[in-house]
Every structure is written in structure tokens, then in C-alpha cells.
């Protein structure tokens, strides 16, 4: 190769390198402080949530090589408090052979205590992962299992996979649990385009029998994914149990999850509601593919979702998990509804991490005014947790301005609109470049109770989660504030009183 060609190659290489460097810009200002995000590269659905020996295991959809979707594998992290996470090596990597690529899609993990599968060693039951194997060259998805005898660090694939194969695409996301009354394992799995949740049963996790189908019902404009079925107590009464079936689907405005409340007899799930009734898990534009830790302390069911990233590219990671939610069912005038609160395990940990940086105020009077809450040494890093009770009096809108930018009028507003009777997140003041018009204002129907409204708000750098009236409504979204957009204030457009305000500063909490 002559010198001119060599020089040309060098110059082109330098130009490409320079271009690549310009495109890849680290974004530490958006890295969450108290939510899980991978150290690097892409993540999406939570998988295989299981609690063992005082440790929460989180597996998750992960690309180990790039900051975009692909090479799907199961990443792995553990935590004792759902706030501080230990990152571990990939637990189940993609499998590549001469003729086949197998991507490890979403699924679940169970502790096979009685070794029904026969995979255990030395008298101990194994962990068994049940997941969808996506094989793009074969144009199909089928259900595989793998087992672990090292505490979930690695999994060996079952020699006779797949355990369920319908020779079709869009058949995915198995979620498995032990159903004691029938002494068998139950699987929910999605027939995506048919808007069906299929139920299978097994005595050994290897041989599965079809039990029934549920659906179509509720929201059916887009395909169904990531189904799971949970028993939940009604109004805190463990003697009154209903079953809740969760389904993810793309909604009218992006990510969407719905749920059904009903009964399950070990074979069939029957909803208590009319077939066209739609019950919404989260009214925002980010929360998706959530599943639960079924076996958490005190028999709690703790839901965890993926918060889908917005337009700006975060680097060196993309994607994060939601705050974990404690789940229950609550009687309302509209029937039984899902109640979701930031998990007590999480809030107890956050209170400790706040290290005394807590603000408590009572009976703050607002008269068409705003009170600044951020300052030089507090609540100025976009990482905090707020719990507030408002008496709305004659005000129309009451709430918080977060990520305020001095002198610009740019802010995200979170609050309650008494006239429209909605909880809302309004991003029009700062996110027009990042969100489509229909996502700029997100609302959830909510009524004040005797003139009182409760708002719990968790801001963590780029994630914003809002819980209204003790978890009756939830709005989750992603925002991308400028580095100097860190202001916080409470406001009302009329007379209102903040009966109780608590803010925990999480700026010192590392990832």
C-alpha cells in the first residue's frame, strides 16, 4: 500500500474515531443514586426475582457488549436492602453456535425446595430459571429451563430443552410459582398477538401441561407481554385473598401495564370485572415489564419494573429499574384497586442513607405563592424523596416544581389539579426536546379525600416517580434536566396548607 493510501486510511480512521468520540458523551448527571442501573451497557426487563437467605436477587435483560439492545442475556445483581446493589457476572449468556443464536429473553426463577426437578445436589434443592429462548434464525420462541447449584451465580441448561415448544414466534415471558393447594408449579406465559395469557402446570418443572387461557380482555390494541399472577390480601386481611394478573402492553401513549383482579383455582383465572374494563398499573410513560419478588420478608409481594429511557442517550449505561413497590388490594367506590407504595424496605434504607439530611415541616400556608425548599447544602442534587399531605382549600393546583433552572422558567411540575381531579406530572417546561407532545403532560384520575391529598415523590437524577393518595395512583417518567437545573419548591395557585412535609436528601447515596 503506497504512502498516499496509508495517509488516507489514517485520516479516515482519525475522522471516524473523532466522530465516535463526539457521539459518546458520558452522562453522570443522569446516573441514578438509589435505583438500580447496570455499570455499563443496555438493560431492560427485570427477570428471575427471588429472595434467598436474606438477599434479593435481580436478574435482568442485558446486553453485555453494547449500550443498545442486542445479545440478550441475563445480567445479575444482589441486594440486602433494595437500594445498594452488588453487581455480579452475567448469569445466563446468549448461546451462539454455527447454526443457531439463542437469546435469553425474559422469565422467572424459583427455588425448587423439594428437588422436584431432580437437578439438586447433596440434598439441596436447586434454583431453576424458566425463560424464553428466542432463536431468530429459526423464527421462533420457546420455553427453556436452566438450573443452578451455586446460589444462582451460574446456570446449566437442561439437556432436553425446550420444555414447551409451539414452533411459533411471539410466545414468551414465562413466570412460574408453586401453587400449594394442587401441589404443582404454575406458569403464566404470553401468546403475544392473540392477547392471551396461557396457563401451564407441572409437577417437576420439566414436563408441562396446558391448563387454560385468559383473554382477550381489557386493553388489546397492542400485543401482551410479561404476564404474572400474584395473590394479594384485600384491605390487609390475609384471610381475604384475591388474585391479580399483570400484563404489559404498549399503550396509546407508550409503555403500559394493566391488571385484572379475580380468582384462581389452580387451573383457570376468572376476572371479577367486565371484559372491557381496563385497570392501569402506572399512568406514566416509562414503567413496563414489571414482575414481583413473591417471597419477600413478611410475605410481602414487591413489584419491580423497567423504566424505559427517553430520547437523550445515557452513557455508559442505558436503562434502569423502578423503585420497588409494596403491593396490596384496597376496596374503593369503584371496586378493588391495586395499591402501590414505595417498598418499606426501601424507604427504611433511604431514611438511614439520608444521614440526618431530612426536612420536616408542619402547617405550611400557601397563598398563591411558592416556597423554595432547595438551598446551597440541601435538596440541590436532584436526588430526594418527598412525602407530603396537602389541604387544598380553594386552590386549583397545588404541588412541587422540581428540576427548576434559575432565571429560565424551566421546571417539571408535579401536583394535584382539584378542578380536573387528577394527579399530574407536567414536563412542558423542560422536556419538549425529549418527549413527544402526548407525553409532556401525564395524568391519573384521583379524588381528594375530605379535602386532603397525599403525594409521595421520588426524584433520582433522571427518574421521577409519583404516588398519589397512598398508592392509589402512580405516575412514572424519565426526565433529563440540565446540570444546573436543581431547584425545588412547593407551591399553590390559591389558598392551601401543607399539613405535613418530609423530605429526605439522597444526594450522598452512591449507586
Does one domain contain both 388 and 329? no
Whole domain around residue 221: which residue ranges?
A: 30-344
Which of 320, 344, 368 is at the close of a domain? 344
Residue-by-residue DSSP string for 145-156: EEEESSTTS--E
Cα separation, 367 vs 361, in Å, equals: 17
Cα separation, 88 vs 325, in Å, equals: 24
Side-by-side strand order, sheet with 73-79: 86-92, 73-79, 55-62, 41-52, 317-318
Cα separation, 285 vs 283, in Å, equals: 7
Q: Establish if 236 belongs to a structural domain.
A: yes
Give the three cell numbers for residue 433: 426536546
Helices and strands, counts by H and E, the chain: 2, 36
Which is nearest to 510 in space by CA: 353, 342, 376? 353
Q: Kind of pairing, strands 302-307 and 287-293? A: antiparallel
Does one domain contain both 360 and 259? no
Does one domain contain both 181 and 77? yes
Does one domain contain both 336 and 434? no
Cα separation, 80 vs 480, in Å, equals: 29
Q: Establish if 10 belongs to a structural domain.
A: no
pLDDT in tens, 207-256: 999 999 999 999 999 999 999 999 999 999 999 999 999 999 976 667 89
Which is nearest to 395 in space by CA: 499, 467, 491? 491
Cα separation, 119 vs 160, in Å, equals: 13
Q: Establish if 243 belongs to a structural domain.
A: yes
Q: CATH number of the domain that 55 lies in?
A: 2.115.10.20
Question: Measured between alpha carbons, how far is residue 80 from residues 44, 118, 345, 403 in Å?
Answer: 22, 29, 9, 31
Does one domain contain both 191 and 324? yes
Which of 300, 318, 344 is at the close of a domain? 344
Which is nearest to 174 in space by CA: 159, 158, 185, 160? 185
In the residue annotation, 45 being an active-site residue is answered as: yes
Does one domain contain both 233 and 370? no
Which is nearest to 93 in space by CA: 52, 41, 133? 133
Contacts of 111 (CB under 8 A, 6+ apart): 50, 52, 125, 127, 295
Does one domain contain both 237 and 382? no
Q: Kind of pairing, strands 171-179 and 164-168? A: unpaired
Q: CATH number of the domain that 427 lies in?
A: 2.60.120.560
pLDDT in tens, 309-318: 888 889 999 9
Cα separation, 17 vs 13, in Å, equals: 6
Does one domain contain both 84 and 129? yes
Q: Establish if 5 belongs to a structural domain.
A: no
Does one domain contain both 113 and 250? yes
Burial of 82 (0-12, 13-18, 19+ CB in 10 A): buried
Which of 344, 372, 392 is at the close of a domain? 344
Q: Establish if 349 belongs to a structural domain.
A: no
Does one domain contain both 329 and 458? no
Q: Establish if 17 belongs to a structural domain.
A: no
Angle at 70 between CA 69 and CA 72, to 5 degrees: 110
Cα separation, 104 vs 71, in Å, equals: 8
Which is nearest to 478 in space by CA: 498, 502, 456, 461? 461
Which uninterrupted H or E stretch holds 121? none
pTM here?
A: 0.94
pLDDT string in tens for the chain (511-residue length): 443 333 333 343 444 444 444 468 999 999 999 999 999 999 999 999 999 999 999 999 999 999 999 999 999 999 999 999 999 999 999 999 988 999 999 999 999 999 999 999 999 999 999 999 999 999 999 999 999 999 999 999 999 999 999 999 999 999 999 999 999 999 999 999 999 999 999 999 999 999 999 999 999 999 999 999 999 999 999 999 999 999 999 766 678 999 999 999 999 999 999 999 999 999 999 999 999 999 999 999 999 999 998 888 899 999 999 999 999 999 999 899 999 999 999 999 999 988 668 999 999 999 999 999 999 888 999 999 999 999 999 999 999 999 999 888 899 999 999 999 999 999 999 898 899 899 999 999 999 999 999 999 999 999 999 999 999 999 999 999 999 999 999 999 999 999 999 999 998 664 3
Cα separation, 485 vs 376, in Å, equals: 13
Q: Establish if 74 belongs to a structural domain.
A: yes
Given a contact cutoff of 8 angstroms between Cβ atoms, the answer to whether 168 and 140 are in contact is: yes
Does one domain contain both 108 and 213? yes
Q: Establish if 11 belongs to a structural domain.
A: no
Given a contact cutoff of 8 angstroms between Cβ atoms, the answer to whether 310 and 478 are in contact is: yes
State the sign of the Cα–Cα–Cα–Cα dihedral 306, 307, 309, 314. Answer: negative
Cα separation, 350 vs 337, in Å, equals: 27
Residue-by-residue DSSP string for 326-341: EEEEEEETTEEEEEEE
Q: Structural domain tally of the chain?
A: 2
Does one domain contain both 34 and 155? yes
Residue-by-residue DSSP string for 192-237: GGGTEEEEEEESSSSS-EEEEEE-S-S--SS--EEEEEEEEEETTE
Amino acid at each position: 500500500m503506497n504512502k498516499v493510501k496509508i495517509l488516507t486510511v489514517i485520516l479516515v480512521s482519525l475522522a471516524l474515531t473523532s466522530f465516535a468520540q463526539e457521539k459518546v458523551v458520558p452522562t453522570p448527571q443522569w446516573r441514578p443514586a438509589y435505583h438500580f442501573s447496570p455499570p455499563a451497557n443496555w438493560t431492560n426487563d427485570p427477570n428471575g426475582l427471588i429472595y434467598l437467605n436474606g438477599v434479593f436477587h435481580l436478574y435482568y435483560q442485558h446486553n453485555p457488549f453494547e449500550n443498545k439492545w442486542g445479545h440478550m442475556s441475563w445480567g445479575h445483581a444482589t441486594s440486602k436492602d433494595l437500594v445498594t446493589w452488588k453487581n455480579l457476572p452475567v448469569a445466563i449468556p446468549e448461546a451462539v453456535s454455527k447454526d443457531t443464536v439463542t437469546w435469553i429473553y425474559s422469565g422467572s426463577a424459583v427455588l425448587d425446595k423439594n428437588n422436584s426437578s431432580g437437578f439438586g445436589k447433596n440434598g439441596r434443592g436447586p434454583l431453576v430459571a424458566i425463560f424464553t429462548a428466542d432463536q431468530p434464525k429459526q423464527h421462533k420462541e420457546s420455553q427453556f429451563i436452566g438450573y443452578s447449584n451455586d446460589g444462582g451465580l451460574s446456570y446449566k441448561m437442561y439437556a432436553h430443552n425446550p420444555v414447551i415448544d409451539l414452533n411459533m414466534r411471539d410466545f414468551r415471558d414465562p413466570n412460574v410459582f408453586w401453587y400449594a393447594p394442587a401441589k404443582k408449579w404454575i406458569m403464566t406465559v404470553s401468546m403475544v398477538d392473540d392477547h392471551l395469557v396461557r396457563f401451564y402446570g407441572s409437577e417437576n418443572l420439566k414436563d408441562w401441561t396446558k391448563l387454560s387461557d385468559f383473554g382477550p380482555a381489557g386493553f388489546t390494541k397492542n400485543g401482551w407481554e410479561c404476564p404474572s399472577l400474584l395473590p394479594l390480601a384485600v384491605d390487609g386481611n390475609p384471610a381475604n385473598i384475591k388474585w391479580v394478573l399483570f400484563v404489559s402492553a404498549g399503550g396509546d401513549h407508550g409503555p403500559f401495564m394493566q391488571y385484572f383482579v379475580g380468582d384462581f383455582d389452580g387451573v383457570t383465572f376468572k376476572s371479577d370485572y367486565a371484559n372491557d374494563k381496563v385497570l392501569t398499573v402506572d399512568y406514566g410513560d416509562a414503567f413496563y415489564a414489571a414482575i414481583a419478588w413473591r417471597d419477600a420478608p413478611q410475605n410481602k409481594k414487591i413489584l419491580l419494573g423497567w423504566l424505559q429511557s427517553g430520547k437523550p442517550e445515557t452513557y455508559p449505561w442505558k436503562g434502569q429499574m423502578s423503585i420497588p413497590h409494596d403491593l396490596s388490594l384496597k376496596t374503593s367506590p369503584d371496586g378493588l384497586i391495586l395499591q402501590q407504595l414505595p417498598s418499606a424496605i426501601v424507604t427504611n434504607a433511604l431514611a438511614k442513607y439520608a444521614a440526618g439530611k431530612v426536612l420536616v415541616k408542619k402547617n405550611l400556608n400557601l397563598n398563591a405563592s411558592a416556597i423554595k425548599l432547595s438551598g446551597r447544602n440541601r435538596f440541590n442534587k436532584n436526588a430526594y424523596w418527598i412525602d407530603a399531605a396537602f389541604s387544598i382549600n380553594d386552590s386549583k393546583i397545588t404541588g412541587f416544581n422540581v428540576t427548576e433552572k434559575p432565571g429560565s422558567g424551566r421546571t417539571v411540575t408535579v401536583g394535584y389539579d382539584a378542578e380536573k381531579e387528577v394527579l399530574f406530572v407536567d414536563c412542558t417546561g423542560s422536556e419538549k426536546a425529549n418527549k413527544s407532545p402526548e407525553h409532556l403532560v401525564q395524568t391519573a384520575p384521583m379524588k381528594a379525600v375530605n379535602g386532603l391529598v397525599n403525594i409521595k415523590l421520588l426524584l433520582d437524577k433522571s427518574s421521577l416517580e409519583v404516588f398519589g393518595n397512598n398508592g392509589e395512583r402512580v405516575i412514572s417518567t424519565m426526565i433529563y434536566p440540565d446540570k444546573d437545573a436543581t431547584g425545588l419548591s412547593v407551591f399553590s395557585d390559591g389558598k392551601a396548607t401543607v399539613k405535613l412535609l418530609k423530605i429526605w436528601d439522597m444526594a450522598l447515596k452512591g449507586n
